[in-house]
Structure 1
C-alpha cells in the first residue's frame, strides 16, 4: 500500500489543523478542513491561512481532487470555495449535512433560497463509501456524536478524525451542540479503535493539555486506545457518557459558532446579498 504524504497547517487563533494529503507516486492530493481567516470584530475575511496551503500545493506540483470538510465546524470558517477557485477539486462533506442544515435553518430563520439537501456541496460522502486520492484507497466513515454529520476519512494508513477525538492527553470533543450525543460519540470512537493500531491519526484541533509545552497534530490508534484520558484504557460507555455530559455543562459556546455554522452549512459560501448588495450574518439572541 502506498502511504500518503501529509503536510499540516496550524491556525493558532482557532487551534485548528488543516491538511494536504497526497499520493507521492502521482502527486494527486486532497485538502482536509481548510480555514478562512475571520475577524469577528470587523466582520472581515482574509485568506492568509488558505494562501499558505495553496502556495504549498503549487510549489509541490500537486493536483487537488478533493476539498473535504470533516463536519460543519463551529469554531472556524471553511475556505473550501476559495481553495477550489485556486486549485480546482470537488468540495465534499458527509451526507448527514442535511440534518445539520435543517436544525440551523430554523435557528437562523433561513428563507427558501437556502436548501437543506446538501446541494451546496459537490459530493456527499456516505458511510463506508470508498474513493481514491491518486492511487491510494480512501474510505469515509460516519462518526457522529460531536455533530450528526461528522465523517472521518481514512486515506491509506492515515485517518483524519475531525473533532471526533483529540490528543490522548486532551480527550474527546464536546457533544452538547444541537444533534450531538455522548453515547453516539463513544460508539463512533469504538469504531475507529477497530482500525489497525499503527494507523496514523491526524487531529483537527489541539489545545495543549496541561503540562505539555508543544502542540501536536499526529498520534496513532494504539496511543488513543491505550492512553486517551476520556475514552482509552477500556473506559465503559456509561462512564464516558457521565464524564462527557458533566464536562460539557461547564463549557462556553465557541466564540465563532454563529458565523462559522452559518457559512459552513453553505459549503463556505456567504449568505445571499440583501437589496443593498451587502451580505449579512445573523446573530440569533438566546438561541444557543
Structure 2
C-alpha cells in the first residue's frame, strides 16, 4: 500500500505542514506544524494545528513523531501543542545546538537555557534511520538555508524543508546566521542526485497570481526547471545569484518572535512572576 501524505497549507505564512502515515499500522508523523500567531495582539491560536489534529483523529492515526526540518524563521512551531494533544516525539537535526547558541546570545535568554538540544525528544544526524510503523525514514542533513536543516526521505518521497521550493520560485535564502549559499547548493545537488521520479514536498510556497499554491514536484522537474539550480547552473553561478537575491530581501515578518519559540521545540518562553510569558524583540540587533 502506498504511503499516505496529507498536506496542510497555511496561507498567512505560506507554510505547508504534512501528516505522513503508514497505511499498514496507522502510525504517523507530523512535519513542520504551524502555531498561529498575531504579532499585533501577541496572541497565539491553534487553528492550523487543530486542523491537523482533526485529520489524525478522523483517520484513526497514532502520532509517533513530530518532525521539524529546522528552526523556522517565518512561523511559530505548534510542536509542543501537538505533542500535548496527540503524543509523539519531537525531533530535529542535531545542529540545532549551533542555532540555539547563536540565538541564546541574540535574545540574552535566561542563563539556564541549555543550548544542547535537550528541549527536543530526539536529535537526528545525517543518515539516521527511524520508523513510522512499518516505514523506514532516513534523515538527510541538508544545511545552507540554516546550519541545521534536515530533510526526511521515505520510499520515493523526500520532505525537503526549506532547501527547494517549487521550480518557478527556486530555493531558500541563505542570509540567516550560519546560512551559506555554497553549502545550500551542495545540499540541493545531493537531493537532485536521487532518482528522477523521486517526489519532493516543499515546506513553503509563495505562489504568484498565475497559479494556486503548490508543494509537490519531482527531482526531474527540479533539474529541468528550477530557476536557481536547474541542470547547467554551476555552483559559482548559483552562489552569485543567491547572494544577489538575498541582498534584496527583508527579514521575515515573524523571525524575531518565531525563533525564540522554535529553538524551544515550540514552547513559549517561561512564564514570569506575573503569570505572563513574554517574547523579546531585540532592537537594532539583526543585520
Q: Match of 2:235?
A: 237
TM alignment of 1:16-165, pairs within 5 A: 16-165=15-164
Instruction: Name the TM-score, length of structure 2 as normaliser.
Output: 0.98
Q: Match of 1:8?
A: 7
Residue-pair matches, total: 286
Offset at 1:277? 2.1
Greater than 6 Å deviation, 4+ residue runs: none
Find the aligned partners of 1:272 and 1:216 in 2 and give their Cα distance. Answer: 37
Find the aligned partners of 1:133 and 1:273 in 2 and give their Cα distance. Answer: 34
Structure 2, unpaired ranges of 5+ = none
Give yes or no for contact 1:3–1:156 (8 Å, CA) kept in 2: no
Match for 2:274 among 271, 276, 279? Answer: 276
Find the aligned partners of 2:276 and 2:214 in 1 and give their Cα distance. Answer: 40
Find the aligned partners of 2:197 and 2:20 in 1 and give their Cα distance. Answer: 18
Give yes or no for contact 1:3–1:157 (8 Å, CA) kept in 2: no
Instruction: Name the TM-score, length of structure 1 as normaliser.
Output: 0.97
Q: Match of 1:185?
A: 184
TM alignment of 1:243-258, pairs within 5 A: 243-258=241-256
Find the aligned partners of 1:213 and 1:236 in 2 and give their Cα distance. Answer: 29
Q: Match of 2:211?
A: 213
Find the aligned partners of 2:54 and 2:146 in 1 and give their Cα distance. Answer: 32
Offset at 1:57? 0.4
Offset at 1:82? 0.8
Structure 1, unpaired ranges of 5+ = none
Task: Tell me if 1:167 matches 2:192.
Answer: no
Find the aligned partners of 2:175 and 2:2 in 1 and give their Cα distance. Answer: 36
Give yes or no for contact 1:75–1:257 (8 Å, CA) kept in 2: yes
